[in-house]
C-alpha cells in the first residue's frame, strides 16, 4: 500500500535533520530514518534472572482448523494489505477452504519455534499528526503487516491471554477484555470524587513513558516471558517472532530501503500490546503509598494529600516508579556510541549549541570511540540508583504534569506542595486531557463540555457546507459516525454534568438534525429521523456500563 501523491496526509517535500528533500525516494528514506531513530539495541551485559511466578507452564501450542477458520471469518475485509499484498477480503471469503492448509503452516511454525522471515517485514505509512507537514517528526508511523501472520498471532494471543490474564495487575486497563478507557476513567474519577465528597484533596500525577512501545528491549520481553513460565518451543517461537524484524516506508509512490527494527514490540501486530502489558506489569508494585492506574504506557499516580507528610510519600512513590522505569532499560556501549555518532551531533550543523556544561556536540562526536565506554558506565550507574547526576538534569517529559483536585477552600490551604522528577519541578495545571476526557481541578465538567462543544460545532458547520453533495442518509451517517460520538464518549461518567452543560449539547444535536432534515423546527426534525435525546441515550450507556462492570 502506498500513499498517492495527491494525498493530503503527506507533504511533497519534507525536512529531515535540517535537510530539505523533495524526491519521493529521498522522502521515503527520510521518514524511515526518522522512524528507526527511536529504536534502542539490546545490551549484551548479563542481567540477574527474574524470579519465576508460581503458575502453570506454557511451552507448546497446537492449533485446530476450526480456530484458524474462526479467526479468518472475523477479519475486517476492508483492512489494508501488508507487504505480501494478500487481502483480508480474500482470506475472509475463502476461510473454510484455506483453514486446513494454514493450520499445518502455523503448527509447523510453533513446533519448530521459527517465525517466518517473510512475515517480519512491515510496510510503514506516515500519517500526519499536527503542525508543519514539512517536518518528519510531525508524522506517526502506521505499520502494515502480513494479514496471514496476524491470523497466527491472533490464535496465539488467545492462549497467551488465557495464561496471563489473572496475573496482570488490576491497575491495568489497556488491551484487556472487559476493560477500556471508560472503565479506567470510572475508577479514577470515582476515587477522586469520593475524596472530594469527604472534603479531601487528591494529587494526580500524569506520566507517559516516552516511545515506550518502540524502546523496550527484546531480551527484557523474553525475560518476562520466562518469568511467567513460558518456555520450550513457545519461548523459542517468541524469540524468533521478536528478532530479525525489518521495516520500510511506502509514501508518494516510492518505497525506502529496509531498516532493522532492533527494539520494541512489533507495531501494528496482534501480540505486541499483550507483550507490552507483560513488560510493565510489575511497575505498579513499586509504588507504596499511592494508588496507581494504568492504560498501557499511560500511568497515573493518585494520592490523598492533606499535609507535607503526604506530599513526601507521593514524592517517594514518583522516585520509586521512575527508578523502576530506568532500571528496565540499560544502555550498551554500542548504543551510546551510535547516539554520539547521530546526525544531531553532526559537524555540518555548527549552530547546534552546547548545553549548560558548555560541551559542544562536535567534540562528543569526534571523541565517540574514546568516551563511549566510560560514559555508558556513568549512565548505567545512574539508572541502577534511580537518580540522574545534577549536571544531566536538563530535560523533562512534556506529558508529565500534575493536577491537585479539591474545593477552592481546600486548595487554598495547600502550601509547599512541589513535586519533581529527576530534579525538575512538575508542571501543575488546572485542566488535563486524559484518554480523551478533560478533567479540571474541581472535577466539574465545564472544561470538557467546552472542548467537546467547540469540536462538534466546527464539524456541524462542515456538514452544512457539504450538505448539497450528500444524500439525507449519507448526511445522517456522517453525523452518527463523526459528530455524535464526540458528545457521547464517556457520557456514562459525566451524566451528572449539570443541566446547563447537557442543554448545550442537546442544542448542538438539534442544530445538526435541522441541517440534515432541512426541517425549520428541531422537534419535527427529531421525530422525522426518530432520534432520541442525548440524555436518553446517555441513560442507556450508564446501564450498559453497570452491566459490563458488575
Give the tens place of pLDDT for each residue, 467-503: 889 998 999 999 999 999 999 999 999 988 899 999 9
Residue position matching grid coordinates 489494508: 80
Domain contains 97? yes
Cell of 460: 456541524
Q: Which of 480, 486, 428 is nearest to 456 (CA)?
A: 486
Domain contains 307? no
DSSP states of 368-423? HHHHHHHHHHHHHHHHHHT---GGG-----TT-EEEEE--HHHHHT--S---EETT
Angle at 302 between CA 297 and CA 308, to 5 degrees: 135
Residue 382 burial class via C-beta count within 10 angstroms: exposed 0-12, middle 13-18, buried 19 and up: middle
Domain contains 50? yes
Please tell me the predicted confidence (pLDDT) of residue 396. 45
Q: What is each CA distance from 335 to 42, 55, 129, 252, in whole angstroms?
A: 8, 36, 29, 32
| E strand or H helix at 450 | helix 446-466
Residue position matching grid coordinates 525506502: 256
Q: Which of 8, 29, 548 is nearest to 254 (CA)?
A: 29
Backbone angles phi, psi at 103, to 5 degrees: -60, -40
CA dihedral for 406, 411, 416, 421, sign (positive or negative)? positive
Domain contains 488? yes
Cell of 550: 458488575
Buried b (16+ CB within 10 A) or exposed e, 310-329: bbebbbebbbbbbbbbbebb
DSSP states of 419-448? -EETTEEPEE-SEEEETTEEEETT--SHHH
Cα–chain center distance at 229: 27
By three-state DSSP, how is residue 31 classified?
A: helix
Q: Which of 148, 164, 284, 140 is nearest to 214 (CA)?
A: 140
Number of domains in the chain: 2
> How many CA within 13 A on the CB side of residue 432?
24
Q: Which of 289, 316, 348 is the last residue of a domain?
A: 289
524-539 pLDDT per residue, tens: 888 888 899 999 999 9
Please tell me the predicted confidence (pLDDT) of residue 480. 95
Backbone angles phi, psi at 245, to 5 degrees: -80, 155
Residue 424: pLDDT over 90: no
The one-character DSSP state at 74 is: T
Query: Please, which pLDDT band fits residue 68 given cuts at 50, 70 and 90?
Result: very high
* List of residues 6+ apart from 161 with CB closer than 8 A: 177, 274
Do 549 and 542 form a contact (C-beta atoms < 8 A)?
no
Whole-angstrom Cα distance, residue 273 to residue 292? 19
Residue 352: pLDDT over 80: no
Residue 355: pLDDT over 60: no
Please tell me the predicted confidence (pLDDT) of residue 27. 92
Whole-angstrom Cα distance, residue 34 to residue 97? 42
Residue 428: pLDDT over 80: yes
Q: Is 282 left (phi over 0), alpha (psi -120 to 50) or beta?
A: alpha
* List of residues 6+ apart from 314 with CB closer than 8 A: 203, 205, 289, 290, 301, 303, 305, 419
Angle at 138 between CA 215 and CA 393, to 5 degrees: 50
By three-state DSSP, how is residue 1 classified?
A: coil
The one-character DSSP state at 340 is: H
Q: Which of 123, 139, 124 is nearest to 8 (CA)?
A: 139
Q: What is each CA distance from 323 to 240, 286, 318, 367, 381, in whole angstroms?
A: 30, 9, 8, 30, 12
* Mean pLDDT for all residues in the chain: 84
pTM above 0.85, yes or no: no
Out of 239-248, 319-328, 506-515, least confident range? 319-328
Q: Which of 257, 289, 321 is the last residue of a domain?
A: 289
Whole-angstrom Cα distance, residue 1 to residue 147? 13
Q: Which of 3, 110, 43, 4 is nearest to 335 (CA)?
A: 43
523/239: higher pLDDT: 239
Domain contains 530? yes
Domain contains 48? yes
Q: Which of 228, 221, 227 is nearest to 166 (CA)?
A: 228
Residue 358: pLDDT over 90: no
Residue 249: pLDDT over 90: yes
Domain contains 429? no
Q: Which domain holds residue 527?
A: 444-549
Domain contains 301? no
77-129 pLDDT per residue, tens: 999 999 999 999 999 999 999 999 999 999 999 999 999 999 999 999 999 98
Whole-angstrom Cα distance, residue 18 to residue 349? 8
Out of 41-55, 446-460, 506-520, least confident range? 41-55
Backbone angles phi, psi at 437, to 5 degrees: -125, 130
Query: Please, which pLDDT band fits residue 377 given cuts at 50, 70 and 90?
Result: low
| E strand or H helix at 322 | helix 308-327
Looking only at Cα atoms, what is the longest distance across the chain?
Answer: 79
CA dihedral for 390, 391, 394, 395, sign (positive or negative)? negative
Query: Please, which pLDDT band fits residue 6 given cuts at 50, 70 and 90?
Result: very low
Backbone angles phi, psi at 186, to 5 degrees: -60, -45
Cell of 225: 516471558
Q: Which of 289, 313, 343 is the last residue of a domain?
A: 289
Cell of 178: 472487559
Amino acid at each position: 500500500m502506498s500513499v498517492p501523491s495527491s494525498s493530503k496526509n503527506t507533504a511533497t517535500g519534507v525536512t529531515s535533520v535540517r535537510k530539505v528533500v523533495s524526491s519521493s525516494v529521498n522522502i521515503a528514506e527520510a521518514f524511515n530514518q526518522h522512524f528507526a531513530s527511536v529504536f534502542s539495541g539490546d545490551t549484551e551485559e548479563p542481567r540477574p534472572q527474574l524470579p519465576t511466578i508460581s503458575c502453570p507452564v506454557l511451552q507448546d501450542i497446537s492449533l485446530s482448523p476450526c480456530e484458524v477458520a474462526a479467526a479468518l471469518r472475523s477479519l475486517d475485509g476492508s483492512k489494508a494489505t501488508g507487504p505480501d499484498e494478500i487481502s483480508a477480503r480474500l482470506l475472509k471469503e475463502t476461510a473454510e477452504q484455506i483453514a486446513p492448509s494454514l493450520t499445518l503452516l502455523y503448527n509447523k511454525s510453533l513446533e519448530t519455534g521459527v517465525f517466518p522471515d517473510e512475515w517480519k517485514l512491515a510496510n510503514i505509512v506516515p500519517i500526519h499528526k499536527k503542525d508543519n507537514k514539512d517536518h518528519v517528526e510531525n508524522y506517526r508511523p502506521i505499520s502494515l503487516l502480513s494479514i496471514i501472520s496476524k491470523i497466527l498471532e491472533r490464535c496465539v494471543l488467545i492462549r497467551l491471554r488465557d495464561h496471563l490474564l489473572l496475573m496482570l495487575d488490576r491497575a491495568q486497563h489497556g488491551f484487556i477484555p472487559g476493560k477500556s478507557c471508560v472503565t479506567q476513567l470510572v475508577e479514577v474519577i470515582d476515587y477522586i470524587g469520593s475524596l472530594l465528597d469527604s472534603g479531601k484533596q487528591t494529587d494526580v500525577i500524569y506520566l507517559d513513558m516516552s516511545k515506550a512501545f518502540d524502546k523496550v528491549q527484546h531480551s527484557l520481553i523474553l525475560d518476562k516471558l520466562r518469568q511467567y513460565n513460558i518456555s520450550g518451543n513457545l519461548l523459542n517461537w517468541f524469540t524468533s517472532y521478536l528478532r530479525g524484524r525489518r521495516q520500510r516506508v511506502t509514501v508518494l509512490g516510492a518505497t525506502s530501503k529496509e531498516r532493522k527494527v532492533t527494539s520494541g514490540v512489533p507495531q501494528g501486530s496482534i501480540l505486541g500490546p499483550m507483550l507490552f502489558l507483560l513488560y510493565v506489569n510489575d511497575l505498579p508494585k513499586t509504588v507504596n503509598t499511592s494508588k496507581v492506574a494504568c492504560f498501557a504506557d499511560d500511568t497515573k499516580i493518585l494520592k490523598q494529600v492533606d499535609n507535607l507528610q503526604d506530599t513526601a510519600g507521593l514524592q517517594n512513590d514518583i522516585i520509586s516508579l521512575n527508578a523502576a522505569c530506568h532500571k528496565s532499560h540499560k544502555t550498551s556501549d554500542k548504543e551510546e556510541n551510535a547516539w554520539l555518532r547521530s546526525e544531531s551531533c553532526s559537524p555540518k550543523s555548527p549552530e547546534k549549541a552546547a548545553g549548560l556544561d558548555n560541551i559542544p556536540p562536535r567534540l562528543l562526536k569526534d571523541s565517540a570511540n574514546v568516551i563511549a565506554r566510560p560514559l555508558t558506565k556513568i549512565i548505567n550507574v545512574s539508572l541502577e540508583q534511580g537518580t540522574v547526576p545534577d549536571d544531566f538534569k536538563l530535560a523533562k517529559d512534556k506529558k508529565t504534569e500534575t493536577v491537585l483536585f479539591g474545593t477552592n477552600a481546600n486548595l487554598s490551604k495547600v502550601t509547599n506542595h512541589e513535586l519533581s522528577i529527576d530534579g525538575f519541578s512538575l508542571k501543575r495545571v488546572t485542566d488535563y486531557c486524559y484518554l480523551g476526557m478533560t478533567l479540571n481541578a474541581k472535577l466539574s465538567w465545564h472544561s470538557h463540555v467546552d472542548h467537546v462543544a467547540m469540536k462538534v460545532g466546527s464539524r456541524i458547520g462542515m456538514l452544512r457546507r457539504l450538505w448539497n453533495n450528500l444524500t439525507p442518509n449519507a448526511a445522517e451517517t456522517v453525523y452518527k459516525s463523526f459528530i455524535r460520538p464526540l458528545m457521547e464518549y464517556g457520557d456514562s461518567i459525566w451524566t451528572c454534568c449539570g443541566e446547563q452543560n447537557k442543554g448545550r449539547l442537546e442544542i448542538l444535536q438539534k442544530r445538526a438534525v435541522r441541517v440534515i432534515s432541512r426541517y425549520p423546527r428541531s422537534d419535527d426534525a427529531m421525530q422525522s429521523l426518530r432520534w432520541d435525546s442525548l440524555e436518553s441515550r446517555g441513560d442507556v450507556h450508564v446501564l450498559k456500563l453497570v452491566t459490563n462492570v458488575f
